[in-house]
Chains A and B, each alone.
Chain A
Amino acid sequence: MRKISLSNLDKAFALIAENAKLYIPVDGKGGASFKLWQEGVKMSDALNTVRSAKDFFFPQMETLMEFKTEGKNIEIIDNRQEKEDFVVFGVRACDVKSFEILDRVFLSEPVDSYYASRREKGVIVSLACGRPSETCFCKTFGIDAANPAGDITAWKTETDLYLLANTEKGEKLLSAISSITEDCDGKAVEEQKKQISAIMEKLPLSNVTTEKFGAGKTKEYFDSPAWDELSSHCLGCGTCTFVCPTCQCYDIKDFKTNEGVQRFRCWDSCMYSDFTLMAHGNSRASQKERFRQRFMHKLVYYPDNNDGMFSCVGCGRCLTKCPISMNIVKVMKTLGGKEND
């Protein structure tokens, strides 16, 4: 394990930024967001960014290819480019876990090359959560906020930042800043881990469990009468899906530029009425079906296809952002029954 004094953090950022684009969470209007590090940019102390870190690998909008059309002819232009190396610093345990969930979608055959190339070039430096929020429930999904995954795990104390490489990529990055870090023992980190674990136990949502959910439960919940009430006031906006680190549905659309056609992919939301709309009708006709799809996908369908892994990381973003304060915790508690209370 290595450590670096917080006063030297800017130097470390400068060193990293020499070889790769470095993104860190920065405070701004409306909350923290990941921004490109430049001289003078200060890291945010916020627990989490408003948008999740999935943007780095699965951006809200990206061009897939272009076309030129002339008369009856079409020319297909594959303008994919080698991505640049980049480092994302300060990703929380929940968001790091979300990459694993996205990987299972985008890196399964056939591999999504857009996602894969970003994943290959990105180095994740995670940061343990010193002060989890009341909306956090990552523990529910077996995530340890005190010990996040990632290429490098970092712990921040009052004075120092402790760094531990978990992968080859991480080792490489650590060695790049070895001149300003020093070897150290893990005492301070152990101490912090204990503290964090103690806080996690105390959090109001620490008793939420996934016991009642998982693979093979489709029949049990699909026709539950609870969906009517749960979804009855859903606005059908896309806030929950767009702030969610694990929502990965996308749309592919064409944009006619003045020269040709750009085919792009953008985030889509199963909460939107046109998500499944076809020329002859809609297989999910009302908001109830759309709402059900979102939560069934996270709690049942995804586990069905991914060895029981849930597609929620308990980051709590939907809890804070939903305009009507409806969220996965309320869904789990309602469907799961009393035991979950």
Chain B
Amino acid sequence: MINETLIPKLGVITEIRQDTPDIKTFRVVSPEGKKLFEHRPGQCAMLSIPGIGEAMFSITSSPTNTEYMEFSIKKCGCVTTWLHAAEPGQNVTVRGPYGNPFPVDDVFAGKDLLFVAGGVGLAPLRSVINYCRHYRDRYGKIDIVYGSRSKDDLLDYQEIINEWATDSGVNVHLTIDREQEGWDGHVGFVPNYVKELGFDTNKIAVLCGPPIMIKFTLEGLRSLGFEKTQVYTTLELRMKCGVGKCGRCNVGSKYVCKDGPVFRFDELDELPNEY
């Protein structure tokens, strides 16, 4: 019988890292200890706990990681709450990869890159950032603007300051929403910070975060002179099948699971405002 995409593979959670008070990062491998499948930066996978449910998550680890996959998951719904209560060794089922990746090998190649993320929105971008860092010589300057509610809510903080910030040609700009003790970095919302930093427009920008942040950051970038064709984002809607058949994650005639989740803003303009 032919393969069935709806039938998942078995995965094992080998490590759980508490990133922020409500975000944990789960490391998943096959029962044999190998990576479950190959993916491209920006793609997603369906994780599930039988009896609890199945949900789509972006793969946070870079494709260049040959050992395992990671998922940064915020506790907010049914499946995520259950996962947050899980312990290492827990089996999960995984299927994927789904969706289109960021065009890292063609459009992004040779360009300066600007990543703008808010909160758990860093999760899908981390995969791209690490991919680009791995093939550092293929890309120009990399700027990363990342903001969160507080210092404690910054995802992958250690990795950011120990690895990303120390790379040559990579500039990391962190910000938090409100003043906090022990924080001497920037304070303020991401969209304003992006405008303050004032990037030159000769680059590709990638946004991910809460809808309100995306909206105002896009406006900010537009005021700096960015064209919509230079700005990418990644969407999320309720999904069940992951392959464009169950009929719920469409925005107009595009399915986020199949035609997305990565969209360029000029492409989004062609779609009705229903996401």
Q: Give the shortest distance, in Å, between B127 (CB) and chain A (any CB).
A: 22
In the assembled complex, B268 has its CB within 8 A of some CB on chain A: no
Q: Residue B238 contacts which of A76, A80, A276, A305 (CB distance < 8 angstroms)?
A: A276
Q: Are A297 and B247 in contact (CB under 8 A)?
A: yes
The size bracket of the interface on A is 35 or more
Q: Give the shortest distance, in Å, between B13 (CB) and chain A (any CB).
A: 9
In the assembled complex, A190 has its CB within 8 A of some CB on chain B: no
Chain B, Cβ-Cβ closest to A69: B50
Binary A-proximity of B1-38 (CB < 8 A = 1, otherwise 0): 11111111110000000000000000000000000000
Q: Give the shortest distance, in Å, between A341 (CB) and chain B (any CB).
A: 27
Beyond A278-B238, A279-B80, whether A252 also contacts B246 by CB under 8 A is yes
Binary B-proximity of A60-71 (CB < 8 A = 1, otherwise 0): 000011010100
Q: Residue A113 contacts which of B3, B80, B86 (CB distance < 8 angstroms)?
A: B3
Q: Residue A72 contacts which of B4, B6, B91, B275 (CB distance < 8 angstroms)?
A: B91
Which of these binds chain B: A93-101, A175-183, A243-251? A243-251
Beyond A64-B6, A289-B274, whether A252 also contacts B91 by CB under 8 A is no
Q: Are A69 and B5 in contact (CB under 8 A)?
A: no
Chain A, Cβ-Cβ closest to B75: A279
Residue from A78, A113, A256 whose CB has the most chain B CB atoms within 10 Å = A113
In the complex, which residues of chain B have a beta carbon less than 8 angstroms from the beta carbon of A15? none
Q: Residue B250 contacts which of A69, A252, A263, A301 (CB distance < 8 angstroms)?
A: A301
Give chain B interface residues in 232-275, CB to chain A under 8 Å.
236-238, 240-241, 243, 245-250, 252-253, 270-272, 274-275
In the assembled complex, A261 has its CB within 8 A of some CB on chain B: yes
Give chain A interface residues in 218-273, CB to chain B under 8 Å.
218-219, 222-223, 248-252, 254, 256, 260-261, 263, 265, 268, 270
In the assembled complex, B76 has its CB within 8 A of some CB on chain A: yes
Q: Residue B246 contacts which of A80, A249, A283, A284 (CB distance < 8 angstroms)?
A: A249
Q: Are B253 and A305 in contact (CB under 8 A)?
A: yes
In the complex, which residues of chain A have a beta carbon less than 8 angstroms from the beta carbon of B86? 72
In the assembled complex, B161 has its CB within 8 A of some CB on chain A: no
Q: Are B87 and A72 in contact (CB under 8 A)?
A: yes
Chain B, Cβ-Cβ closest to A294: B247
In the assembled complex, A73 has its CB within 8 A of some CB on chain B: yes
In the complex, which residues of chain A have a beta carbon less than 8 angstroms from the beta carbon of B238? 275-278, 283
In the complex, which residues of chain B have a beta carbon less than 8 angstroms from the beta carbon of A80? 1, 4
Q: Are A69 and B2 in contact (CB under 8 A)?
A: no
Beyond A67-B51, A72-B91, whether A117 also contacts B246 by CB under 8 A is no
A278 to B249, CA, bound (A): 11
A112 to B2, CA, bound (A): 9
Q: Give the shortest distance, in Å, between B96 (CB) and chain A (any CB).
A: 11
Give chain A interface residues in 67-124, CB to chain B under 8 Å.
67, 69, 72-74, 76, 78, 80, 82, 105-106, 110-114, 116-117
In the complex, which residues of chain A have a beta carbon less than 8 angstroms from the beta carbon of B274? 283-284, 289
List 12 interface pairs A-B (beta carbons < 8 Å), by A numbering.
Answer: A64-B7, A74-B49, A76-B10, A76-B93, A105-B245, A218-B272, A249-B246, A250-B246, A254-B51, A261-B50, A289-B274, A301-B253
Q: Give residues in A with beta carbon < 8 Å to B.
A: 64-65, 67, 69, 72-74, 76, 78, 80, 82, 105-106, 110-114, 116-117, 218-219, 222-223, 248-252, 254, 256, 260-261, 263, 265, 268, 270, 275-280, 283-284, 289, 293, 296-297, 300-302, 304-305
